[in-house]
Amino acid sequence: MDSNVNKSDRPEKKRWTVYSKQLLFLAPAAFVWVVTAIFIAPKLKQIWANAGGNGNPVFAGMDIMRESGWSILIGAAAILVLVEKFWTRWPRYRKHCIATLVFGLNFAVLLSLMILLVTAVDLMVAAGTVHFGGR
């Protein structure tokens, strides 16, 4: 039996398995970030403004992603389509590049949520609702 016949199907299957696995890995973080950007961040921004804050870079970053997120997503998809179509060596690097990108996005989401949490605690301390240490 000629084994070359089956090898032609592998890159096509591998392409979609790589992308689907990485999308599944990215989905929970993306969902949490969207919920945070829609429900939690606007409320914290309002509390921040009521407390007299001028603005916070965390809110600015979330606003930029919320306002232009679709453009960034479409641009990234276009780049992936062009790389898949025109770069013949891409299958060799596909899995590692996409995994690194997804890891970076997950890290960015976790970092922004941590900074948002620190900002919320700072707001509560400034408002006097939470006291740390002492009596």
119/131: higher pLDDT: 119
The answer, yes or no, to whether residue 12 has pLDDT greater than 60, is: no
Name which of 130, 110, 111 is nearest 120 in CA terms: 130
pLDDT digits (tens, 9 = 90+) for 50-99: 777 676 677 777 788 788 888 888 998 999 999 999 999 988 889 999 99
The answer, yes or no, to whether residue 130 has pLDDT greater than 50, is: yes
Q: Taking the C-alpha atoms of 113, 19, 103 and 78 in order, what is their torsion angle to the nearest 10 degrees?
A: -80
pTM: 0.73
99/6: higher pLDDT: 99
> For residues 118 and 41, is the Cβ–Cβ distance under 8 A?
no
Handedness of CA 21, 102, 27, 25 (dihedral sign): positive
pLDDT at 13: 60
Task: Sketch the domain layout of the chain as residue ranges.
Answer: 24-127
